[in-house]
Amino acid sequence: MAMQAAFAASMFPQLAQRRGSDRAVVVAPPPPAPARVAMRSGGAAAAAARGVRCRASLIEPDGGRLVELVVPEEGGRREAARREAATLAHRVRLGRVETEWLHVLSEGWASPLRGFMREAEFLQALHFNAIRGGDGAMVNMSVPIVLPLGDAQRRAIEASGARRVALVDAADRPLAVLSDIEIYKHNKEERIARTWGTTAPGLPYVDEAITNAGDWLIGGDLEVIEPIKYNDGLDQYRLSPAQLREEFARRNADAVFAFQLRNPVHNGHALLMTDTRKRLLEMGYKNPVLLLHPLGGFTKADDVPLSWRMKQHEKVLEEGVLNPESTVVAIFPSPMHYAGPTEVQWHAKARINAGANFYIVGRDPAGMGHPTEKRDLYDADHGKKVLSMAPGLEKLNILPFKVAAYDTKQKKMDFFDPSRKDDFLFISGTKMRTLAKNRQSPPDGFMCPGGWKVLVEYYDSLTPSADSSKLREAVAA
């Protein structure tokens, strides 16, 4: 109950902020009417009643209620939390990826997790891709959400008998308090093997966040001092699961279908999303809403950066390829593992918590090339197969991707028709990137012109300058 009230209180400043920068791509909620404000601030009972009223048609979050770990603003509680954090003897510094996970946890994407994993949760994630909740039911949880700790700090914390530690950013500012802590071994080899199904060198997430990380992990319950912000001009797209649920309820969505992506949207994607909505309408839903949900956390060096992708997605909606009326664009704050069938479960599970009851899954989701062999790391079909069988995802409707390709006769992207397969041209992500890098145009109808222009601009921005090593790093592979 406290959390519900906390959420209602903490959400309003963000909504007000979003109104200021209203864009076509995100149809912001209207200003809250006084009556609703009154009801929302009417205490726990009213908040609960409101919860039932607004969200009756949305899928239930994992564990039955959405976890929200940001300290409520009222009563000076954030200031008090910040002061307490500053007094704690132990301060664990978070890197970029750990901060992204803090963000993920703070908003309940990983509900019912209430903090970085303790060992029991870590082992269940590794072995079962699922965690048993307090009620005995299994919720899906396929990737470890853990916080590494170096040996010196481990010994200091254990020697002091501390039960609470502060989590701080690169500038030593307190971000959160981790309490009732548990420290356990970070067996990196086993974690990597069980998560990726390989231990080959060169896995991007491993290089970024595991290889040089501490040999211990520290788990516990989180109190996050204030909402995580990036101040990169994109925070208004970073809607929490609670905010997304609010938005879907406001639109009276009776079905929400999520599309996870980390690439520019081409007309094949758009066709798929449009077609999905059509199918849902045919199934009898009155108002299916699309959650177009680009991943916003860590990605590998040769993926198109988030800011450029967001510009590209904006064009796709501006130019009418997707309908803004039935589309919500928001950023999913998770870092990317590139762990294929293991990770696609996390991508789906997190969207349940955001209110999605349909999930579109394509060929080789969250996959990549094998880092040391000339083949894809995962079988292209395993992602959707594993997703369809995953424990804890039974309530989610999985919508397998139909294959779209460029129809050279119709000059547009269309669903592949094997009976006239020679008419179709498959344009891979690599091919697309190569065209854009070389300022060449793709065939008409592959992508809306404004979206393509953004891509070309992005690659132009990488043109070798005095510091040519920078280019090599940014577009490696």
CB contact at 8 A, 357 and 395: yes
> Counting beta carbons within 10 angstroms of the beta carbon of residue 194, is it exposed (0 to 12), middle (13 to 18) or buried (19 or more)?
middle
138-140 and 148-149 strand pairing: unpaired
Map the footprint of a copy of itself across residues 12-71, applying CB under 8 A: none
Over the window 289 to 328, marking each residue x when it contacts a copy of itself by CB under 8 A and - when it does not, the resulting string is ----------------------------------------
Among 7, 196, 452, 458, binds a copy of itself (CB under 8 A): 196
Residues 6+ apart with CB under 8 A from 165: 88, 90, 91, 92, 157, 177, 178, 181, 218, 220
If binding is defined by CB under 8 A, does position 149 make contact with a copy of itself? no
If binding is defined by CB under 8 A, does position 374 make contact with a copy of itself? no
Q: List, in sequence order, every beta strand (DSSP E) within 327-383.
A: 327-329, 358-361
CB of 185 to a copy of itself, least distance (A): 6
Residue with tokens 């449009």: 274
Size of the site for a copy of itself (CB under 8 A): 33
First to last CA, the chain: 49
Taking the least distance from each CB to a copy of itself, the nearer of 151 and 190 is 190
If binding is defined by CB under 8 A, does position 380 make contact with a copy of itself? no
If binding is defined by CB under 8 A, does position 135 make contact with a copy of itself? no
DSSP-derived 3-state class of residue 393:
coil
Residues 6+ apart with CB under 8 A from 53: none
Q: Give CA–CA dist 106/104, Å, rounded.
A: 6
Taking the least distance from each CB to a copy of itself, the nearer of 137 and 162 is 137
Among 194, 251, 300, 453, binds a copy of itself (CB under 8 A): 194
Q: Give CA–CA dist 203/340, Å, rounded.
A: 12
If binding is defined by CB under 8 A, does position 139 make contact with a copy of itself? no
Q: Give CA–CA dist 14/216, Å, rounded.
A: 36
Over the window 95 to 134, marking each residue x when it contacts a copy of itself by CB under 8 A and - when it does not, the resulting string is ------------------------xx--xx-xxxxx-x--
Among 10, 99, 111, 198, binds a copy of itself (CB under 8 A): 198
Residue ranges in contact with a copy of itself by CB under 8 A: 119-120, 123-124, 126-130, 132, 138, 142, 185, 187, 189-190, 193-194, 196-200, 341-342, 378-379, 382, 385-386, 389-391
